[in-house]
């Protein structure tokens, strides 16, 4: 199992669509990994192992339901294998950048088994939402019986 990813990192995507992957995230992803659309307005980065775990879970679902077939198509058709260069950069395909509204300035966050890439303005706006209020966070943790 890959290392748990955590942390927040601010970076820029250059004119060639290249993004530097932070060393702490790089260690978990490996030199080849998968970029796909996220369920929120971001991109998700999965190690090959975690991507296979994710798609195996999808594949265990019955193809008899249209929503399941749609989910499988959605994630697989919006995914790309990427290879890191010697400087720790990957090319993020333009269509994926556009689908997440990612321009130049981005935030990369570690989210356990995956990392997410957010347009910096969208991430900053998300941080202002009530869900990130410390009191709300404390209440949510308590409701899940999680001590912090």
Alpha helices (H) in the chain, listed in sequence order: 23-29, 48-59, 66-77, 94-99, 120-127, 134-143
Which band of pLDDT confidence, cut at 50, 70 and 90, is reported for residue 74? very high
Instruction: Note if the pTM is more than 0.75.
Output: yes
* Residue 145 within a domain: no
Q: Taking residues 139-146, report their average pLDDT.
A: 82
Backbone angles phi, psi at 15, to 5 degrees: -65, -15
* Residue 128 within a domain: no
pLDDT of residue 65: 87
pLDDT of residue 2: 53
- Cα distance between residue 140 and residue 138, in whole Å: 6
Beta bridge partners of 108: 9, 117
Residue 134, judged by CB atoms within 10 A of its CB (0-12, 13-18, 19+), counts as: exposed
pLDDT of residue 3: 62
Is residue 1 predicted with pLDDT exceeding 70?
no
Total tally of structural domains belonging to the chain: 1
Percent of the chain at pLDDT exceeding 90: 70
Torsion, Cα of 37, 44, 36, 130 (10° steps): 0
Q: Which domain holds residue 37?
A: 8-119
Which band of pLDDT confidence, cut at 50, 70 and 90, is reported for residue 146? confident
Is residue 121 predicted with pLDDT exceeding 70?
yes
pLDDT of residue 30: 93
Is residue 88 predicted with pLDDT exceeding 60?
yes
* Residue 16 within a domain: yes
Q: Taking residues 41-68, report their average pLDDT.
A: 93
Is residue 103 predicted with pLDDT exceeding 60?
yes
* Residue 3 within a domain: no
* Residue 129 within a domain: no
- Which CATH number do you get for residue 74? 3.40.1550.20
Percent of the chain at pLDDT exceeding 70: 96
Is residue 135 predicted with pLDDT exceeding 90?
no
* Residue 71 within a domain: yes
* Residue 110 within a domain: yes
* Residue 130 within a domain: no
């Amino acid at each position: 199992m890959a290392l748990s990813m955590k942390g927040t990192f601010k970076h820029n995507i250059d004119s060639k669509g290249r993004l530097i992957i932070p060393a702490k995230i790089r260690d978990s992803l490996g030199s080849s990994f998968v970029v796909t659309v996220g369920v929120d307005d971001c991109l998700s980065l999965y190690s090959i192992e975690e991507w296979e775990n994710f798609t195996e879970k999808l594949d265990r679902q019955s193809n008899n339901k249209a929503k399941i077939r749609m989910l499988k198509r959605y994630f697989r058709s919006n995914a790309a294998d990427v290879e890191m260069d010697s400087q720790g950069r990957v090319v993020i395909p333009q269509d994926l950048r556009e689908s997440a509204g990612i321009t130049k300035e981005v935030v990369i966050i570690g989210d356990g088994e995956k990392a997410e890439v957010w347009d910096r303005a969208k991430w900053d706006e998300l941080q202002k939402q009530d869900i990130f209020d410390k009191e709300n966070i404390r209440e949510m943790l308590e409701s899940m019986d999680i001590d912090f």
